[in-house]
């Protein structure tokens, strides 16, 4: 009897581990697909990887229009690079929705034409992102920012069996509380 109980516990532990590994693999694959859309500046396609519940607060069309306006500015060129997934937390199931926290890093290059005062922008970016994370190239009029960010990875069956992302931004805590259960915010 004791041996059967031990085998049962081992089987449960192995199945939990398999599900955790499957979630992490799916999150990684989805993140890599999202990364591809950013690398190639497929802005509308990248919105498919954002947690759809966000669009109940900020319409998707409004976000797409804002991104298009920013990326079509002829006075400014923006490029993403070195997008790297650093870590994925364990998955938490809450009310039939799965959540995980992912850490990632990336680099953004902003190349400005003469219309902009690069020195002022450089100073503002240093204050916002930290002096060690911001470099300036006066010759090319480019500012590079190294960023480390956190995303909630969310698999909500209401929106299909698909992992989507939502930035964990402390400055937007009120909005996050409308989108993510308080219990998850506290745990992740």
DSSP string, the chain: -HHHHHHHHHHHHHHHHHHHHHHHHHHHHHHHHHHHHHHTT-HHHHGGGB-GGGGGTS-HHHHHHHHHHHHT-TTEEEEEEEEEEEEE---EEETTEEEEEEEEEEEEEEEE-TTS-HHHHHHHHHHHH-GGGEEEETTTTEEEEEEEEEEEEEE-GGG-S-EEEEE--GGGHHHHHHHS-HHHHHH-
* Confidence at residue 3, expressed as pLDDT on a 0 to 100 scale: 54
pLDDT of amino acid 13: 39
Of the chain, the end-to-end C-alpha distance in Å amounts to: 39
Write down the pLDDT at residue 92: 96
How many whole angstroms separate alpha carbon 3 and alpha carbon 23? 30
CATH code for the structural domain at 2-187: 3.10.450
Q: How far apart are CA 176 and CA 170, in angstroms?
A: 9
Length in residues, the chain: 188
Q: With contact defined as beta carbons under 8 Å apart, do 20 and 90 qualify?
A: yes
CA–CA gap between residue 72 and residue 66 (Å, rounded): 10
Q: Are 47 and 172 in contact (CB under 8 A)?
A: no
Per-residue pLDDT for the chain (188 aa), expressed as one digit of tens each?
555 444 333 334 334 444 446 899 999 999 999 999 988 888 889 999 999 999 999 999 999 898 888 888 888 899 888 999 999 999 999 999 999 999 999 999 999 988 888 999 999 999 999 999 999 999 999 999 999 999 999 999 999 889 999 999 988 889 999 999 999 999 99
pLDDT at 188: 93
Cα 180 to Cα 26: distance, rounded to the nearest angstrom: 20
Q: Convert the pLDDT of each residue in 10-54 to its tens digit.
A: 334 334 444 446 899 999 999 999 999 988 888 889 999 999 999
Q: Give the span between the Cα atoms of 162 and 34, in whole angstroms.
A: 12
CA 80/CA 41 separation, integer angstroms:
8
């Amino acid at each position: 009897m004791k041996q059967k109980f031990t085998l049962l516990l081992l089987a449960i532990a192995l199945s939990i581990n398999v599900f955790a590994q499957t979630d992490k693999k799916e999150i990684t694959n989805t993140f890599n697909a999202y990364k591809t859309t950013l690398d190639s500046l497929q802005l509308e396609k990248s919105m498919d990887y954002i947690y759809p519940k966000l669009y109940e607060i900020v319409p998707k069309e409004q976000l797409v229009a804002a991104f298009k306006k920013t990326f079509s500015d002829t006075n400014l060129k923006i490029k993403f690079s070195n997008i790297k997934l650093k870590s994925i937390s364990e998955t938490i199931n809450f009310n039939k929705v799965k959540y995980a926290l992912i850490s990632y890093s990336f680099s953004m290059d902003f190349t400005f034409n003469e219309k902009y005062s690069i020195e002022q922008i450089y100073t503002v970016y240093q204050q916002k992102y930290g002096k060690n994370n911001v470099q300036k190239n006066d010759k090319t009029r480019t500012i590079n920012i190294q960023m480390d960010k956190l995303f909630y990875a969310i698999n909500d069956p209401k929106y299909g069996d698909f992992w989507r992302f939502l930035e964990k931004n402390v400055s937007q805590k009120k909005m996050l509380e409308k989108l993510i259960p308080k219990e998850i915010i506290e745990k992740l």
